[in-house]
Amino acid sequence: MAKISLIVNGNPVNANVDPRTLLVQFLRENLRLTGTHVGCDTSQCGACVVHLDGRAVKSCTTLAVMADGHEVKTIEGLAADGAPLHPMQEAFREHHGLQCGFCTPGMIMTAVDLVHRRGHDLSDHVIREELEGNLCRCTGYQNIVESIAAGAKAMAKSDLA
Amino acid sequence: MYEFKYHRPETVRQAANLLVKNEDSKLIAGGHTLIPVMKQRLASPPHLVDLSHIEGLDTIEMKGRALAVGATAKHADVADSAIVGEAIPALAELAGMIGDPAVRHKGTIGGSLANNDPTADYPAACLALGATIITNKRRHKAEEFFQGLFSTALESDEIITRVMFPLPKKAAYVKFRNQASRYALVGVFVAKRPSDVRVAVTGAGGNGVFRVTSFEEALKKRFSHKALDGMTVPADGLNSDLHGSAEYRAHLIGVLARRAVEAASAKA
């Protein structure tokens, strides 16, 4: 077993884990943060995307021990419980950017990272290219792209990062 | 995934000592090849030595007239680096074509080279640019480093520390990607160097990355896609699988080499 200490959604977390625990398993099973999903489990689909030190990564292909000493943000960390949704979440709701919803947490975490890197004015082309690592099996990409474009603009006016 | 012990050394020397002490250890940095392989139980190293916390191992800088990229520099770091963009824009573009954004936030140049996947992008850049791969023990010329499928000149306790790229006059990388895996079905890196031209191909060779010397000679005489008119690459020894036959890959090499020469010419 290995002792790890990290920050998850702003809160310090200490745990004793088997080194082969994946970050996504640790988040879901140890911390009960089940918003992060396991889709393909092979780093293709992006349902497991979280932010590690502010950058989007696939938590199914990261060991929890590798996150020791680092900061993780999941979909649950975007907005406080009961508070208004994060502007990217709100944009997905408003523009119907989901059907079954399974890919949505990963889509939103990828989208927020995209805005951090490439700004608030995103063309459809850029959004589609950047979604390369996120699959929606309902194939609702049209509305996902619209949601991200709108969410990116809304984030410019929001206090939530 | 089978059990293993996790180590997090702070220096390359510590990491090398761990490799010597623990037989069958594996190095990990981004983990984007090793973790999937361990999940499938195709690899079951009893010890993992994590290089990702060694300070300074990811530095990107100019060293004299060469570009030095640290082994744990992530694909996103290389793609976004102003230093790389200025020195060898084709290398920055190549890094930006690997995998997807989240993969580029984790995967490293050292990991890609040490793994020498026959469809990886970086080996083509190293071979075409004439890079030197520096380890804790010695320096490898790219030509001698890549030794076939998933095979390199690295010894079991050897750790890549950085990669030195001499600056080309012109260079470009063009990749025809497998739409599902985003690896290269065929990728061609063309570099016009001060004394010669090199054309390196990834994704196609049954024995990994290789150079097309007939194209190189033609391009040395005249650096134009027209110099390749009528020239082809034999399909012998190329990969044939459900994604494309050897003949198809041979055809793509010619097409992509022409496009790469055009792209390299347009840049200068």
Q: Assess if residue A82 is contained within a domain.
A: no
Closest residue in A to B51 (Cα) is A66
Do A6 and A70 reside in the same domain of the chain? Answer: yes
A100 and A50 housed in the same domain: no
Band of residue B9 on the pLDDT scale cut at 50, 70, 90: very high
Question: Where is B264: in which H helix or E strand?
Answer: helix B246-267
Indicate whether B117 pLDDT > 90: yes
Q: Which residue of B has its CA nearest to A51?
A: B102
List of chain B residues whose C-beta atoms are within 8 Å of the C-beta of residue A134: 100
Q: Which residue of A has its CA nearest to B36?
A: A42
Please state, in angstroms and as integers, the Cα–Cα distance from residue B178 to each residue in A36, A88, A128, B75, following that order. 27, 31, 17, 19
Same domain, A72 and A93: no
The CATH architecture to which B170-267 belongs is 2-Layer Sandwich (3.30)
Same domain, A99 and A124: yes
Residue B180, pLDDT > 80, answer: no
Residues A130 and A102 in one domain: yes
Domain positions in chain B: 1-50, 170-267
- Do residues A35 and A100 share a domain? no
Q: What pLDDT, on the 0 to 100 scale, is given for residue B146?
A: 97
Q: What's the pLDDT at A154? A: 97
Instruction: Considering only the beta carbons, identify the residue of A65, A69, A110 that sits closest to B102.
Output: A110
How far apart (Å, rounded) are the C-alpha atoms in residues B233 and A11? 58
pTM to 2 decimals? 0.96
Domain boundary among A39, A56, A77: A77
CA distance B29 to B15: 12
The answer to whether residue A161 scores a pLDDT higher than 80 is no
ipTM of the complex: 0.96
Tally of CA atoms within 13 A in the half-sphere of A121 that contains its CB: 0
The pLDDT, as a whole number, for residue A159 is 79
The alpha carbon of residue A98 and the mean position of all alpha carbons in its chain are separated, in whole angstroms, by: 15
Q: Is A49 on the interface with B (CB under 8 A)?
A: yes
- CA–CA separation, B104 vs B235, rounded Å? 32
The label of the residue with tokens 């690295």 reads B154
Is B1-50's fold the same as B170-267's? no
Residue A19 is nearest to which of B4, B102, B106, comparing CB atoms? B4
Q: Which amino acid is at A32?
A: R
**How far is Cα A33 from Cα A74, in angstroms, rounded to an integer?**
8
pLDDT (average), residues B216-226: 97
- Element housing A153 (H / E): helix A141-156
In the sheet with B210-211, reading across from the earlier edge strand, the strands are B170-177, B184-192, B197-202, B210-211
The mean of the pLDDT values for chain B is 96
Structure tokens, B171: 């260079």
Residues of chain A with C-beta less than 8 angstroms from the C-beta of B180: 44
CATH fold group of domain B1-50: 3.30.43
Which residues in chain B touch residue A20, judged by CB atoms under 8 angstroms apart? 1-4, 38
Residue the block writes with tokens 């097309």: B212
Question: Could you identify the residue written with the tokens 């745990």?
Answer: A15
Mutate to test the interface with A, among B105, B108, B182 (most CBs of A within 10 A): B105
Among the candidates A44, A77, A110, a domain finishes at A77
**Domain shared by A112 and A67, yes or no:** no
**CATH number of the domain within which A119 lies:** 1.10.150.120
Q: B35: nearest CA in chain A?
A: A61
Per residue in A99-155, pLDDT tens? 999 999 999 999 999 999 999 999 999 999 999 999 999 988 999 999 999 999 999
Q: How many Cβ atoms from other residues are within 10 Å of residue B52's Cβ?
A: 18
- Same domain? For A111 and A151 the reply is yes
Looking at the DSSP assignment, which residues form a beta bridge with residue B7? B49
Q: Give the one of B1, B52, B105 whose C-beta lies nearest to A66's C-beta.
A: B52
**By CB neighbour count within 10 A (0-12 exposed, 13-18 middle, 19+ buried), where does A102 fall?**
middle
Verify whether the Cβ–Cβ distance A66 to B31 is below 8 Å.
Answer: yes
Number of domains in chain A: 2
Query: Which residue of A lies nearest to B52 if distances are taken between CA atoms?
Result: A66
Rounded distance between C-alpha atoms, residue A44 and residue B90, angstroms: 25
Angle, CA B114 vertex, CA B55 and CA B38 arms, to 5°:
95
Tokens of A47: 């349902």
DSSP state of A20: T
User: B91 — phi, psi (to 5°)?
Assistant: -70, -40
Question: Whole-angstrom Cα distance, residue B48 to residue B56?
Answer: 20
* Band of residue A79 on the pLDDT scale cut at 50, 70, 90: very high
B105·A55 Cβ contact <8 A: yes
- Tokens representing B70 are 């640290």
Amino acid at B205: G
Q: Are residues A59 and A24 in the same domain?
A: yes
Taking the Cβ of residue B55 and every Cβ of chain A, the question of whether any pair is shorter than 8 Å is answered with: no
A70 and A10 housed in the same domain: yes
Q: In the numeric block, which tokens belong to residue A4?
A: 């790890």
Q: What is the pLDDT of residue B268?
A: 56
A43 touches chain B (CB under 8 A): yes
The enclosing domain of A43 has a CATH number of 3.10.20.30
**How are beta strands B66-70 and B60-63 bridged, if at all?**
antiparallel
User: Quick one: pLDDT at residue B267?
Assistant: 73
- The pLDDT of residue B154: 97
Residue of B nearest to A65 (CA): B6
Residue A61 to residue B36, Cβ atoms within 8 A? yes
Question: pLDDT (tens digit, 9 = 90+) per residue, A106-119?
Answer: 999 999 999 999 99
pLDDT digits (tens, 9 = 90+) for B48-66: 999 999 999 999 999 999 9
- Asked whether residue A29 is domain-assigned, the answer is yes
Residue B163 — φ and ψ, nearest 5°?
A: -125, 125
Rounded CA gap, A118 and B160, in Å?
Answer: 32
Which range marks the domain in which residue A112 is found? 87-156
Q: What average pLDDT score do residues B127-137 get?
A: 98
Q: DSSP 3-state helix, strand, coil percentages of chain B (rounded to 5)?
A: 35, 25, 40
Counting residues of chain B whose pLDDT is more than 70, the rounded percentage is 100
Q: Do residues A10 and A52 share a domain? A: yes
* B223 contacts: CB under 8 Å, gap ≥ 6: B170, B192, B197, B261, B264, B265
Model pLDDT, residue B262:
98
Distance CA A145, CA B105 (A): 22
Contact B67, B92 (CB under 8 A): no
In A2-140, alpha helices (H): 23-25, 87-94, 104-118, 124-130
Which residues lie closer than 8 Å to B165 by C-beta, 6 or more apart? Answer: B66, B67, B68, B69, B87, B88, B91, B125, B126, B129, B131
